[in-house]
Amino acid sequence: MAKHILITGASGLIGTRLTELLLNKGYSVTHLGRSRKEGKVKSFVWNVDRFVIEPRALDGITTIIHLAGAGVSDKRWTTSYKEEIYASRIQSTSLLFEELKKGHHQVASFISASAIGYYGFTHDNEMLTEETAPGHDFLAEVTRAWEEKVDQVNSLGVRVCKMRIGIVLSDQGGALKQMVTPIKLFAGAPLGSGNQQVSWIHLDDLCGMFINAIEDEELSGAYNATGPYSVSNRELTEAIANVLHKPLILPNIPQFALKILLGEMADIVVNGSNVSSQKIQQAGFQFKFKDLNSALKDLLQRD
């Protein structure tokens, strides 16, 4: 049976590129989002707050890729936005579960985004694997609750994969774009101590992992969706500057300044995690970008 993929959160950085790559491979793709989009991809609408999904959204679907969720670095972490970050993940997953529970569908695989935030920020440079216990900070608690909701889908006889995504490098947005801009203006600098580990992954390799999870039906459970190795924040900053042929002339941006600027959200940048991708590599996944320099050159030196 030909695979027909439904993507939630498809308008985001990952969903946009993943849609393009899936279409290039000949897959049928449908989007599920807050509004109907015009274009070559069919779309359906849901309202997560009202717990409503458009009828027939799952017709013919064999795989769901669940990417929907409010961006953790899009806004300052006020109490209301933290609630939105949590609810957008838990309620959207619950809505999909309830729809699947009705039966009368062909969905065999449910592949969900998750995050390396699952492990928290208390491990220094300890190598983190899928067997590492969850952390206890805000993002860890959100991610753990999110994964628990995703795991409920498995009780319906649907294969479940959870991709714990690291820092995604893309020229279209995200962390890399935020780092590139000050470096180009000769205002780039390592953040905090600069020693915190950054578990990065090129966007195309991340999308490749999702496609691998679609095609390899032996994959199930959690996988760290990170690159072949992590680097320190200082090493990443220096590598970007080197590829851009820009000097780094400013001292590190101190942690207290980041806390003032970003509030609690500063934990994302002043702390780090050294996350292993060995499990998915041992399952047969091969990286297109095996080192940071080649990934940065592909993204930052395009014509």
**3-42 pLDDT tens trace:** 999 999 999 999 999 999 999 999 999 999 999 887 889 9
Residues 6+ away with beta carbon under 8 Å from 28 = 2, 3, 4, 5, 60
| Residue 259: pLDDT band with limits 50, 70, 90 | confident
| Residue 60: pLDDT band with limits 50, 70, 90 | very high
* Both tokens assigned to 296: 């940065």
- pLDDT(113) > 60: yes
* Both tokens assigned to 167: 């820092």
For position 186, what pLDDT does the model report? 86
Closest by CA position to 14, among listed 86, 73, 71: 71
- pLDDT(110) > 90: yes
Instruction: Tell me the residue ranges of DSSP E strands in the chain.
Output: 4-8, 28-33, 42-47, 52-53, 63-66, 109-115, 127-128, 159-165, 167-169, 197-198, 200-202, 221-225, 231-232, 274-275
Residues 52-68 have a mean pLDDT of 96
For position 166, what pLDDT does the model report? 96
More confident site: 261 or 299: 299
Residues 293-297 have a mean pLDDT of 97
- pLDDT(260) > 80: no
pTM for the model: 0.95
Residues 293-298 have a mean pLDDT of 97
| Residue 122: pLDDT band with limits 50, 70, 90 | low
Query: pLDDT tens, 181-205?
Result: 999 988 899 999 999 999 999 999 9
For position 271, what pLDDT does the model report? 86
Could you give the CA distance from residue 55 to residue 99 in angstroms, rounded to a whole number?
10
Residues 96-125 have a mean pLDDT of 92
For position 252, what pLDDT does the model report? 87
Closest by CA position to 211, among listed 109, 83, 68, 81: 109
Contact 113, 163 (CB under 8 A): yes
For position 88, what pLDDT does the model report? 96
What is the crossing angle of helices 138-152 and 79-101, to 10°?
10
For position 168, what pLDDT does the model report? 96
- pLDDT(123) > 80: no
Contact 226, 201 (CB under 8 A): yes
The pLDDT > 90 percentage for the chain reads 81
- pLDDT(1) > 60: no
What share of residues in the chain are helix, strand, coil (percent, to 5)? 40, 20, 40
Residues 6+ away with beta carbon under 8 Å from 10 = 16, 18, 19, 31, 32, 33, 41, 67
Could you give the CA distance from residue 300 to residue 287 in angstroms, rounded to a whole number?
19
Kind of pairing between the strands at 231-232 and 197-198: antiparallel
Q: Which domains does the chain have, with CATH numbers?
A: 4-234+260-300 (3.40.50.720)
Contact 15, 33 (CB under 8 A): no
| Residue 303: pLDDT band with limits 50, 70, 90 | low
Contact 168, 206 (CB under 8 A): yes
3-class DSSP state of 126: coil
Query: pLDDT tens, 127-185?
Result: 999 999 999 999 999 999 999 999 999 999 999 999 999 999 999 988 898 899 999 98
For position 251, what pLDDT does the model report? 87
Give the largest CA-CA distance in the chain: 61
